[in-house]
Amino acid sequence: MNNTFALWVYLSTQPLLWLSLTLVVWLFADFVSRAANRNPLVNPVLIALAVMGAILVATGAPYAKYFEGAQFVHFLLGPATVAIAVPLVRHRALVMANLLPMAAALIAGAIVASVSAVAIAAAFGAPRQVLVSLAPKSVTAGIAMAVSENLGGVPALTAVLVITTGIIGAVIVTPLMNLLRIKDYAARGFAVGLASHGIGTARAFTVDEIAGTFAGIAMGLNGLATSLIVPLLMRWV
């Protein structure tokens, strides 16, 4: 038992352990999702997050030590985002034909996503620091955390809110769009990408390439729009 504990103490200090565990947990989560026929309620990001979080809590491993290994996966977020340009070029004619609707949806969606969240939280008496942290919840974590920090928010809280927003959006998008009888994959994808950033975009790609393409466009444009809207909104809070 002592030898096993000593071995774990040694391994837990090695970045390769946490990188390997992250990949194994993700493969497990993706397997469960595929076994459920990609049911939106069986979201692989949520499963992986829960399992990896449970492992960290059970082992008492500090997040900083975990991130030393997981940062290699984090680094791949950049290339993965750039790779969205491939289906974008493939469907560029459809994208060009929808520029005006996308522009209108972007303005409406970016404003509603920030204003509605801040207004509801303010109505419940949330302090300004929390409101700032909440405002950029619908954009990708890197942009959201930077906006939050620059305006006096708590980047760690913003990260949690961003992940939560993404998972909720990815889970409800398919049943919601079916309920609303929206069958246009371009519209479905743009909506989830705008509201739920990368996690929603990943879900869109599992459903249809066109949905994923428009989700990726919305994710990028909303990052820019929100970085302009939130500072203006916080002047009134």
Same domain, 206 and 126: yes
Q: Among residues 15, 45, 75, which one ends one of the domains? A: 75
Q: What percent of the chain has pLDDT over 90?
A: 40
Same domain, 25 and 139: no
41 lies in which domain range?
Answer: 2-75
Q: What single-letter amino acid sits at 73?
A: V
pLDDT digits (tens, 9 = 90+) for 34-54: 999 888 788 888 899 899 999
Q: Among residues 31, 56, 75, which one ends one of the domains? A: 75
Looking up tokens 């999702």, which residue turns up? 33
Neighbours of 3 (CB within 10 A): 7
Question: Considering its fold, how many domains does the chain have in total?
Answer: 2
Q: CA 200, 201, 207, 208 torsion: positive or negative?
A: positive
Same domain, 54 and 153: no
Closest CA to 32 of 52, 51, 47: 47
Q: CA 11, 14, 16, 21 torsion: positive or negative?
A: positive
The whole model's pTM is what?
0.80
Query: Is the pLDDT at 80 greater than 90, yes or no?
Result: no
Same domain, 180 and 217: yes
pLDDT digits (tens, 9 = 90+) for 127-186: 999 999 999 999 988 888 889 999 999 998 998 899 899 999 988 988 999 999 999 999
Query: Is the pLDDT at 3 greater than 60, yes or no?
Result: no
Query: Is the pLDDT at 78 greater than 90, yes or no?
Result: no
Same domain, 21 and 124: no
Q: Among residues 24, 48, 75, which one ends one of the domains? A: 75
Same domain, 125 and 158: yes
Same domain, 60 and 103: no
pLDDT digits (tens, 9 = 90+) for 5-38: 454 555 555 667 888 888 899 999 999 999 998 8
pLDDT on residue 7: 47
Same domain, 89 and 145: yes
Same domain, 26 and 86: no
Same domain, 64 and 92: no
3-state percent breakdown (helix, strand, coil) of the chain, nearest 5: 80, 0, 20
pLDDT on residue 4: 52
Q: How far apart are CA 29 and CA 45, in angstroms?
A: 7
Same domain, 112 and 185: yes
Same domain, 103 and 6: no
